[in-house]
Amino acid sequence: EDKVVQSPLSLVVHEGDTVTLNCSYEVTNFRSLLWYKQEKKAPTFLFMLTSSGIEKKSGRLSSILDKKELFSILNITATQTGDSAVYLCAVQTSGTYKYIFGTGTRLKVLA
């Protein structure tokens, strides 16, 4: 059975801290891995990763994929209260084009 596991489930940090969120996966036909941020309602897209070892970066956020060890990390540096959200990891499979989501990591950044 295809599955995506995120850790930790929740995290509380103070502004300025750096956090690393983890996503591991076991899927039959990997196509891509995606990260989303969900604050109140609809998830918003952060990154899509398809190749190992290539870091994607957007401001204070970055992500990298390891297809050999089957995991990805999402780093957030110099955290701000606006980073408080649930961060979702999803893996898209080829063939069926389904997206399999992890349970998410709830991040709370304290001022």
Instruction: Return residues touching other proteins (CB under 8 A).
Output: 4, 6, 31-32, 34, 41-45, 48, 50, 88, 90, 92, 96-104, 106
**Least distance (Å) from other proteins to the CB of residue 88?**
6
Compare residues 81 and 103 and give the one whose CB is closer to other proteins: 103
- Written in H, E and C, the secondary structure of 52-103 is CCCCEEECCEEEEEECCCCEEEEEECCCCHHHCEEEEEEEEECCCCCEEECC
Distance CA 91, CA 14 (A): 30
Q: Which is nearer to other proteins, 3 or 60 (CB)?
A: 3
Minimum gap (Å) between residue 3 Cβ and other proteins? 11
Q: What angle do CA 35, 76, 60 make, to 5 degrees?
A: 100
Residues in the chain: 111
Q: How far is the CB of 16 from other proteins (least distance, A)?
A: 27
Q: Which of residues 85 and 102 has its CB atom nearest to other proteins in the complex?
A: 102
Q: How far is the CB of 41 from other proteins (least distance, A)?
A: 5
